[in-house]
């Protein structure tokens, strides 16, 4: 029986291969036909072909594993007894197609009811973020730590947004953050930004709704880097996504108070 250690090692090689293919498409992106999936939501053959490559490689090596990817329908139901690879072939597609280098490939492995490890590869910077509870947190094999900032005034909070939700919650968070002397940043790739939280580059992250393929690659790295995130697997988080809040170890109380003032877990 294959082990998750084997999956982790295989995943690290695979994500670099997939990132290389995506990067080749990025260099000739003017030739790509852009299709719309919805409001401010685009896709091209690059996303689809990179996902197909990842799917093919996973099933060649681990034929009994399951895959949930952004661009292809998964099975109607997943068997919780078998590992599930959660794949975003190109996260930050709008940036990718606009010639902006903030995009990445993201892969998380759900196994035994939790996210065992995550991988985020940025081909433009040639940075591979990897980690999980059993593996530590690294960028290109060097250990990383989440920021030790103790105040929202002490760095940048990445705020993601998609039109899958309304604007009110995010607008209120922006307003309170800025009034309190904080600062936001928006890269256009949620997965890469979360990896940056693991590396201590952003002090935290908030997005009202992320799909599992946007967050599961980075969440275990953040935790292994000493940071905190909400439980993105809670309820039907795997198939329906969830709010995502993340930060370094000393910012939990303050960020929770910004996102859910007074402990009120409503918007
Ligand atoms: C999107 C990006 C964006 C985030 C959205 C995602 P896509 O993914 O990660 O930063 O705010 O929630 O849907 O469409 O570029 O793969
Ligand atoms: Ca995505």
User: Concatenated DSSP letters for 100-113?
Assistant: -S--EEEEEEEETT
Spatial neighbors of 136 by CB under 8 A, at least 6 apart, are 143, 224
User: What is the pairing mode between strands 242-247 and 228-229?
Assistant: antiparallel
Ligand 1: nearest atom to the Cα of 192: 9
188 lines ligand 1 (CB under 6 A): yes
Tell me the three state secondary structure of residue 31: helix
What per-residue confidence (pLDDT) applies to 24? 95
Quick check: CB of 93 below 6 Å from ligand 1? yes
Does ligand 1 come within 6 angstroms of the Cβ of 66? no
Cβ count within 10 A of residue 140: 11
Ligand 1 centre distance from Cα of residue 1 (Å) = 35
At 266, list the tokens: 């409503």
For ligand 1, atom 1, which residue shows the shortest CA distance?
A: 92
pLDDT of residue 203: 98
Burial of 171: CB neighbours in 10 Å, binned 0-12, 13-18, 19+: exposed
Q: Residue 267: what pLDDT? A: 62
CA of 1 to the centre of ligand 2 (A): 31
pLDDT by residue for the chain (267 residues), tens digit each?
899 999 999 999 999 999 999 999 999 888 877 777 777 776 788 999 999 999 999 999 999 999 999 888 777 789 999 999 999 999 999 999 999 999 999 999 999 999 999 999 999 999 999 999 999 999 999 999 999 999 999 999 999 999 999 999 999 999 999 999 999 999 999 999 999 999 999 999 999 999 999 999 999 999 999 999 999 999 999 999 999 999 999 999 999 999 999 887 766
Q: How far is CA 209 from the centre of its chain?
A: 12
At 193, give phi and psi (nearest 5°).
Answer: -65, -40
**Collapsed DSSP state (helix, strand, coil) of residue 251:** coil
Q: Classify residue 151 by its DSSP letter.
A: S
Q: Regarding beta strands 228-229 and 204-210, do their DSSP bridges make them parallel or antiparallel, or are they unpaired?
A: unpaired
Residue 61 and residue 114: Cα distance in Å, rounded? 22
> With a 6 A CB cut-off, is 47 part of the ligand 1 pocket?
no
């Amino acid at each position: 029986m294959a082990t998750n250690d084997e999956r982790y090692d295989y995943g690290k090689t695979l994500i670099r291969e997939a990132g290389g293919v995506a990067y080749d498409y990025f260099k000739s992106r003017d030739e790509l036909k852009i299709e719309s999936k919805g409001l401010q939501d685009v896709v091209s053959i690059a996303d689809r072909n990179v996902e197909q490559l990842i799917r093919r490689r996973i099933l060649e090596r681990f034929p009994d594993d399951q895959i949930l990817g952004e661009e292809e329908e998964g099975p109607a139901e997943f068997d919780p007894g078998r590992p599930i690879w959660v794949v975003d072939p190109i996260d930050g597609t709008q940036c990718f197609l606009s010639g902006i280098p903030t995009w990445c490939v993201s892969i998380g492995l759900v196994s035994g009811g939790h996210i065992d490890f995550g991988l985020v590869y940025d081909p433009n910077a040639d940075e591979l973020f990897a980690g999980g509870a059993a593996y530590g947190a690294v960028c290109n094999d060097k250990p990383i730590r989440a920021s030790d900032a103790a105040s929202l005034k002490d760095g940048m909070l990445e705020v993601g947004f998609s039109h899958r939700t309304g604007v009110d919650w995010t607008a209120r968070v922006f307003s309170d953050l800025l009034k309190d002397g904080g600062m936001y940043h928006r890269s256009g790739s949620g997965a890469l930004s979360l990896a940056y939280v693991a590396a201590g580059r952003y002090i935290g992250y908030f997005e009202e709704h992320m799909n599992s393929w946007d967050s599961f690659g980075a969440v275990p790295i953040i935790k292994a880097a000493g940071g905190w995130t909400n439980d993105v697997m809670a309820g039907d988080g795997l198939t329906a996504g969830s709010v995502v809040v993340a930060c370094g170890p000393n910012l939990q109380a303050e960020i929770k108070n910004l996102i859910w003032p007074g402990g009120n877990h409503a918007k």
